[in-house]
Amino acid sequence: MSKPDLVSIEPLRPQSMEELARHFTIHQLTMDKSTWVDAVKPLGDRVRFVQTTGFAGCPGPVMAALPRLEIVSCMGVGVDAIDLAQARTRGIAVTNTPDVLNDDVADLGIALLLMTARHLALSDRYVRDGRWKRLGNQALATKVSGKRLGIVGMGRIGKVVARRAAAFDMKISYHARNRADVSWTHCPDLVAMAREVDFMIVIVPGGPSTRGLISAQVIEALGPKGILVNVSRGSVVDEPALVDALVSGRLGGAGLDVFADEPNVPEALLPLDNVVLAPHVGSGTQETRGAMADLVVANLLAHRDGKPLLTRVP
């Protein structure tokens, strides 16, 4: 019996691709997005399955070139790079990998806050390039414990971030469209919250509804002693306003794991000592990426076998 055809837009780890190859005939796309539509057109009458990642997504033209498509299984929580409107219109199931990455993303958010406030990336460079010997002690940093933290988003990961922050005796408030079932303070006015906190961690979904949510006004309200950490999507922050505020000193610092045009990072950020940069590694551990890949495969096999999907996106 022949195996069903599957388009892999961006591959999973090797062992997961080997598992998929036991059950599907895989058609692997290249990294060049401009080739995707032409590559899938000849497969249009055969392909019912697509495997992708949150970064690569599944653009509308690719989806349109696959008239028999039934499922897009995505490794990652964010599905803003998938044409969800077309998927809903055509009845195409979209799955993602929630929950299994909550700890890692929350850990990184707290780590970026600590690294930025305590100048740890700078400290590493200070020792390595001999400044400690030449110049003596490094300039003093900012305390984290006991400070005021504003969390933008109080979903699965936001709640884990808050629990981590509570262990640092931080006073926690959060901004979300709706009040969550938590004990922390809900702030419906994001600018007002930014004005009242010392640090802000952003963990909301990407997409049109959150584009530019962290506006120039929010950044100005956070102020020259404030620190912004973004572990959500680059699109959520007004990046030019952020860069301008960091360069001018109107924002105290930033810990950034995501950017508007990844993997391109604004050149103006690279020499700044008040910024910690990471290459979108929120879920980047062996354990979590493995669990995410396993969930992608499980959803594809469930659909193939006519079983309920494990993590379908509403």
User: Which residues belong to the active site?
Assistant: 233, 262, 280
Q: Are strands 199-202 and 227-230 parallel, antiparallel or unpaired?
A: parallel
For β-strands 253-256 and 148-152, DSSP reports them as unpaired
Nearest to 45 by CA among 68, 27, 62: 68
Rounded CA separation 148/99 (Å): 26
Query: Tokens standing for 207?
Result: 């997409």
User: How many CB atoms are closer than 10 A to CB 77?
Assistant: 25
State the angle between helix axes of 102-117 and 156-166 in degrees (0 to 180), rounded to the nearest 10: 50
Give the 3-state secondary structure of residue 29.
coil
In angstroms, the CA 236 to CA 202 distance is 8
Amino acid at 249: G
Q: How far apart are CA 214 and CA 52, in angstroms?
A: 28
Number of residues written out for the chain: 314
Structure-token pair, residue 180: 């969550």
CA atoms of 255 and 200, how far apart (whole Å): 10
Measure the CA–CA gap between 164 and 126, rounded to whole angstroms.
Answer: 28
Q: Are 110 and 165 in contact (CB under 8 A)?
A: yes
